[in-house]
Amino acid sequence: MKRLLVILLATAVFAAACTNGQSALDPTALSVDGSTVSVAQLNDEMTWLEENPSAANRIFNAGAPGAGGELQLHGEAAGSWNPDIVAVILTLHAQRFLIEDTLAEIGAEITEADRQAARRTLDSRYGEPNPQTGMIEEGTVASMPEGLSATLVTLEATNEAALRVVLADGGGEVTEAELRERYDDAVAFFEEEQAAMTPPEPGPCASHILFFFDADDPGAGEPTDEQLDEAFAAAEATLADLEAGADFAELAAERSDDPGSAADGGRLPCLPPGSYVAEFEAAAAQLEVGELSEPVVTDFGVHIIRRDADEEPDEQAAAMDEPEIPSFEEIRSELQVQMESERGDELLRERLVPIFEAVLERAEVEVDPRFGTWDDQAAQVIPPEGSSPAPVAPTEGNDDVPLFEDAPGIGLP
């Protein structure tokens, strides 16, 4: 079942046009109920892939079985194509013909508007980015061999055409009650997840007064000896004032080079261990509540640190920024689109899978044994085992008889 759903619902990545009545010079590689793919067509398409390696990699990485990294188009023998890639292409040829028969069974028609939309989608998916603008260039589909581009467009547009027919019979509507139920379930799940989350244990809570090494350029890097001495002297003078009874919050507001904490009397958020630089955390951890540190040097400057009372876990949880849950009205439209899409997929499964099964069962599929064999259970072409004869195009001076060599894949022209 899963195999059929992939074939019916996913956009196929490759196929080619059918022709009839190939001559001896252009033998048939695949036949599905009289619709055929010739060796010449395969050679043209493989050559296009070879000449457009970026598009080829994007096409096969988007869905070809086993593809990944750089696409290997050539077989082990000189002048041959990779037999595994050829088998994939022939598989998709066959799938296209079978799907077209399935669409015909339900009276689905792909419109020109469907095709235009499909071309735009395929260009955006497989096109080459412009090196200057980064925008995807159009025209990739138009540059392909005619059969290849026609097949890609047809398969891309298949779902839209099938959905029109399936939805015309009803059953694709989503009621207000269903929308509300989906929303309520999602909110309940989110709230359960939030309730199960444990706030991280805070590190030592502290306030500080910071003196930059260079107030004009705090990120200047390693301070000079003079800058270090000046910042250290300012910190020591502030520490002396604090020990003499000056108010920490007032001095922080007046003297600290950290504007964020200075506005709050030097207070810093109580964050989990590792949130602040190691030197700062180590110094704060050694202090008793209310105790002041000696000047502490970090990459940011020189600090005077005061240890504050640690906050209770409940207070920490209350202080955490909780994501705001959008209202039902705010996401109703988005939710409806999502649920209608899911409902459409369900209807496609219910309607098309049995029809596709019937089409597949009665289909007469023939594959040239040099390229593999047809597996009607998996609905795919299995590549030949080991080395197999591979047809090549006639060589110059011998246009009457196609040549063959013992090599896997389709021979290069």
Residue 308: predicted pLDDT? 93
- Model pLDDT for residues 352-396, shown as the tens digit of each residue: 889 999 999 999 999 999 899 999 999 999 998 754 444 333 233
Query: Is the CB of residue 250 less than 8 Å from the CB of residue 191?
Result: no
> 276 φ, ψ to 5°?
-110, 165
- Which of 44-58, 225-239, 303-317 comes out lowest in average pLDDT? 303-317
Q: Where are the domains of the chain?
A: 2-172+332-406, 176-199+324-329, 206-319
Residue 317: what pLDDT? 45
Q: What angle, rounded to 10 degrees, do the helices at 83-106 and 146-168 form? A: 40
pTM, entire model: 0.57
How confident is the model over 16-34, as pLDDT tens digits? 333 344 555 579 999 999 9
Q: Please, are residues 363 and 98 in contact by the beta-carbon 8 Å criterion?
A: yes
Quickly name the fold that domain 206-319 has: Chitinase A; domain 3 (3.10.50)
- pLDDT tens-digit series, residues 147-190: 888 888 888 888 889 989 988 878 788 999 999 999 999 999 98
The tally of CA atoms less than 13 A away on the side-chain side of residue 272 is 6
